[in-house]
């Protein structure tokens, strides 16, 4: 099993869930929402070799945590995986868009300066801005657009820019999600849970959704789910073997 975007540190019992995840998943990317959270979480999860803790500064709290930006940029030297970063253009977050953009831009620029990172990116309601910033910093590494919810044109643009996508099982329940998945590049998709934020019938998704995502993709792409699961592994290997 693989989970390429989860907030393990925010489940009610992170120590216990991390042990289960480390045993059951071959790879889990635990993204964090602030550099201070990364510092604490990576210390606690250090002993779990199948869990990687991404260094993040979540766009929805970028304005209140902007004082941690310097710390974020300094810690980048120590990591290969960055996330959760990005921008959120929903109406309730529009007031902070300028600051989100400044924060995201400095992080991406620093990633480029350091020869690239693997970045788990939030782009809800702000795909165009996110793609423009990535395009201006071509050496920033591999962008993995998490829970992509843009338009088909934006998807095509992201695809042309070489983006990867992490697919959430909840995307399988929406017509829009399904139509986007249909056009995603088969060799650049990984599964994600985004738990405990992502919920199904009130219950947080668990970090074990790779098969569920594979079953969904198998219906949409008309491919056997075991081929899709193998594809996830192949895609993951490509990313983990990259040397930045």
SS3 97: helix
Q: Of the two residues 129 and 194, which places its CB atom closer to Mn ion in the complex?
A: 194
* Residue 111 near residue 117, CB atoms below 8 Å: yes
Question: Hey, which residues between 202 and 241 contact Mn ion (CB under 5 A)?
Answer: none
Q: And the tokens for 77?
A: 């030297």
- Count the residues of the shown chain that bind Mn ion, applying the rule CB under 5 A: 2
Distances (CA, A) of 236 to 103, 105, 173, 240: 28, 26, 25, 6
Least distance to Mn ion from the beta carbon of 63, Å? 17
Question: Hey, which residues between 75 and 114 contact Mn ion (CB under 5 A)?
Answer: 84
Least distance to Mn ion from the beta carbon of 227, Å? 28
Q: Is 9 in the site for Mn ion (CB under 5 A)?
A: no
Q: Of the two residues 4 and 234, which places its CB atom closer to Mn ion in the complex?
A: 4
Q: Is 194 in the site for Mn ion (CB under 5 A)?
A: yes
Integer Cα distance of 36 and 57 in angstroms: 9
Other C-beta atoms within 10 Å of 170: how many?
Answer: 16
Sheet holding 2-6, edge to edge: 2-6, 27-30, 51-53
Q: Is 192 in the site for Mn ion (CB under 5 A)?
A: no
Q: Of the two residues 154 and 194, which places its CB atom closer to Mn ion in the complex?
A: 194
Binding site for Mn ion (CB under 5 A): 84, 194
């Amino acid at each position: 099993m693989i989970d390429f975007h989860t907030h393990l540190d925010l489940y009610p019992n992170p120590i216990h869930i991390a042990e289960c995840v480390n045993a059951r998943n071959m790879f889990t990317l635990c993204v964090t929402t602030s550099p201070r959270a990364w510092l604490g979480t990576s210390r606690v999860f250090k002993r779990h070799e199948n869990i990687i803790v991404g260094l993040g500064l979540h766009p929805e709290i970028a304005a209140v945590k902007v004082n941690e930006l310097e710390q974020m940029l300094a810690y980048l030297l120590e990591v290969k995986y960055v996330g959760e970063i990005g921008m959120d253009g929903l109406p309730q977050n529009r007031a902070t868009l300028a600051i989100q953009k400044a924060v995201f831009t400095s992080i991406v620029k620093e990633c480029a300066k350091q020869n690239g990172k693997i970045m788990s990116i939030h782009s809800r309601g702000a795909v165009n801005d996110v793609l423009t910033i990535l395009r201006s910093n071509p050496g920033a590494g591999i962008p993995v657009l998490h829970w992509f919810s843009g338009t088909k044109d934006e998807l095509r643009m992201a695809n042309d820019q070489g983006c990867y996508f992490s697919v959430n099982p909840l995307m399988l329940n929406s017509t829009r999600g399904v139509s986007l998945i249909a056009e995603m590049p088969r060799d650049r998709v990984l599964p994600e849970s985004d738990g405990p934020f992502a919920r199904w019938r009130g219950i947080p998704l668990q970090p074990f959704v790779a098969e569920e995502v594979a079953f969904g993709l198998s219906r949409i792409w008309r491919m056997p789910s075991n081929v899709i699961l193998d594809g996830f592994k192949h895609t993951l290997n490509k990313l983990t073997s990259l040397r930045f």
